[in-house]
Amino acid sequence: MKVIVCDPISQTGIDFLRQQDGLETVVLDRCHSEEELLPIVKDVSAMAVRSETKVTKAVLEAAPGMRIVGRAGVGVDNIDIEAATQNGVIVMNTPGGNTIATCELTFSMMMALARNIPQAHGSMTTGEWNRKAFKGVELYGKTLGILGMGRIGGEVARRAVAFGMRVLAFDPYITPSRAKALQVELASLDDIYEVADFITVHMPLTDETRGMLNKETFEKMKPSVRLLNCARGGIVSEPDLLEALQTGRIGGAALDVYEAEPLADDSPLRQCPNLILTPHLGASTIEAQDNVGLEVAQGIADYLLHGSLMNSINMPSLDAQTSAKVQPYLRLGERMGLLLARLGQAATERLVITYGGLATNLPGDPIARAIIKGFLGAAEGEEVNLVNVRSMAKERGLIVEEIKSSEQVDFREWLHIRAWAGDEKVSVGGSFFGMAQHPRIVRLNSQPVEIVPEGILFMMTNKDRPGIVGHLGTVLGKHDVNIANMSLGRDREGGQALTALNIDSVPSTDCLAELEADPDISHIRIVKF
C-alpha cells in the first residue's frame, strides 16, 4: 500500500512509515497543485498532509484506492470532508500533538498583553525609554474566560489556576466533574462577557462559532478586557474587533489566526497599536512538529495495517483493543443487513437495530454502519462503504434507530434488526457460537433458525408436510447441487415452515423451476454472502 507525504512533516514520522512492512512511502519534494496531484494519487492508499496541500473532490475521485487522509495538525479546512465521506475515505487529524505548544503560545500572548511586552520592545528598538507608557496589569486575581474546554482549553485552565486566576469556562459538553477537577467554574457566555478580564477562544470554526465574537458581544464586555484567539480564524469578526480596539470598546487583543491567511500586507490590523499579531505559530515548536508528524504517521499505519482508528473526523474512532472486539460484529452485522435486504422488503423506510447481551458494551456506530452497508450494498454494490453509509442512508430517506436493550436474551451476544415498510416488517437476529465467535443467524422473523451466513444460502418457505425435505434434497441432487448445512424451522405442526440451506453452487433455472412447481413451496431466495 502506497502512502504519499504531500507536505513537510517531521523526519521521525517519515522514518516510522518507512519502517512499516506492507507500506511504500513516497515523500513529495514540494506542495503540488490539484492538477499535479491527479496522476500521482491514482494508486495511493493514504495521504499525509499539513495545511498547504488541498485535498479536493477531484483529487479524491482520482484515487479509487484511497482509504485515509491524515492531517498533521488540527484544522482540516484544506480537505473536502464531504467528498471524502462520499468516496469512502477516512479523514483523521492529530489534535494531541500540538496541545502544549498552542497552550503555551496562548499563555505567552496573555502575558504579553498584560505587560505590553511587544509594544515596549518596539519602543526600545527605536531608542526610547518610556516606562510610563507601558504600565500593565497582573494576572494574579484576574478572571479568565475560556471558550471551549477541550485539550488546549483544559491546559490553559491549569496554568491560569497556577497563576492565581479565577477561571470561568463555557463548554456545552464539559461535565461538572471535569470542571471541578480543573478548578474552573462553568458559566454562560453572557456571564463571561460581563466579568472576564481576559477571554481566550479554544473552539472549532463551525457555522455556530463563525463570527461569534463581534460588535454585539464586544458591547457586553468590560472596556478593559483583553481578547485572545489562537484557535481558528473567523471566530472573531476582524472588522468588529478593529473598531472595538480603535474606539476603546475593549482594552487589547492578540491574534495568531485570521479569517484569511496569510494576513494581507495592507491589513489595517497591522497598524493597530493595542493588538498583538503572530503568523499562526500555534503548532510551531520543534516538539509539536515532531509530535504531529509521528502521530499522523502512526494513525495512517495503524488503520491501513491493523484497522484501528483514532482521531477520525468522519468515522468513529476505535483503539486496537476495541477494534478487535468489534470486528466480529462488523462481519455479522453486514451479513445480517444483506440477508434482510434479500428477504424482499420493498420501499424500506426504517431500520431498527437492537443490541443485547455483551453487545451493549460495545460502540454501536461502527456496527450500525456495517449493517447499513450490508443492507444498502445489496442494491448499491461497491458504492457503499463504512464511511459513507450514514450519508447514503440519509440521501435515501432511510431512518436508522439504535437501541441498547437491558432485557434478558437467550444469547450472550445478540443483534436484532427490523426493517419497516409502512406497517410491514421483516426481521433478522444474529449471534455467535463458540469461543471462535462463529457468526450465526438465529432468528428470521419470528422463527428460530441456525444459519451459517457464508457462501451461498438457499431459503424457501414451504408447507410443513412429510417428505418435503426429501423432495428438496432429491431435486437439488438431480441438478448437482450439494448441501453443506441445513436449518429447519416451523411455526406449528402442519403450518408454515422455513428451510435454509448452505449449498456449494447456485441452482440452475431449471432446478428452481422444478421446485417452484410444487404447490407447497414458495418464496425461494438465493443469497450470496
Question: Is residue 280 among the annotated active site residues?
Answer: yes
Distance CA 366, CA 372 (A): 10
Q: Please state the three-class secondary structure of 359-422 as a single string.
A: HHHCCHHHHHHHHHHHHHHHHHHHHCCCCCHHHHHHHCCCEEEEEECCCCCCCCEEEEEEEEEC
End-to-end CA distance of the chain: 26
Instruction: Give the DSSP letter string of 49-107.
Output: E-SSS-B-HHHHHT-TT--EEEESSS--TTB-HHHHHHTT-EEE--TTTTHHHHHHHHH
Single-letter amino acid code for the residue at 29: D
- Residue partners of 423: CB distance under 8 A and separation at least 6: none
Q: DSSP class of residue 236?
A: B
Q: Is 329 helix (H, G, I), strand (E, B) or coil?
A: helix
> Cis peptide before 262, with omega less than 30 degrees from 0?
yes
Q: DSSP class of residue 295?
A: H
Phi, psi of 459 (to 5 degrees): -125, 140
Residues shown for the chain: 529
Question: Is residue 438 among the annotated active site residues?
Answer: no
> Strands 413-421 and 350-357, how do they pair?
antiparallel
Catalytic residue (one of 32, 202, 232, 443): 232
- Residue partners of 321: CB distance under 8 A and separation at least 6: none
Query: Which strands, in side-by-side order, build the sheet including 521-528?
Result: 483-490, 496-503, 456-463, 521-528
Distance CA 18, CA 229 (A): 37
Residue of 139, 51, 143 whose CA lies nearest to 98: 51
Mark residue 437 as left, alpha or beta (left: phi above 0; alpha: psi -120 to 50; beta: remaining): left
Phi, psi of 364 (to 5 degrees): -80, -30
Report residue 247 as a C-alpha cell. 474606539
Catalytic residue (one of 280, 335, 416, 440): 280
Catalytic residue (one of 82, 261, 401, 424): 261
Q: Are 228 and 200 in contact (CB under 8 A)?
A: yes
Distance CA 471, CA 28 (A): 66
Cα angle 96-102-106, degrees, rounded to a multiple of 5 = 145
Report residue 195 as a C-alpha cell. 466579568
Q: Are 78 and 88 in contact (CB under 8 A)?
A: no
Distance CA 157, CA 164 (A): 11
Question: Is residue 202 among the annotated active site residues?
Answer: no
Which residue in the block uniquely carries the three cell numbers 487529524?
93
Catalytic residues: 232, 261, 280
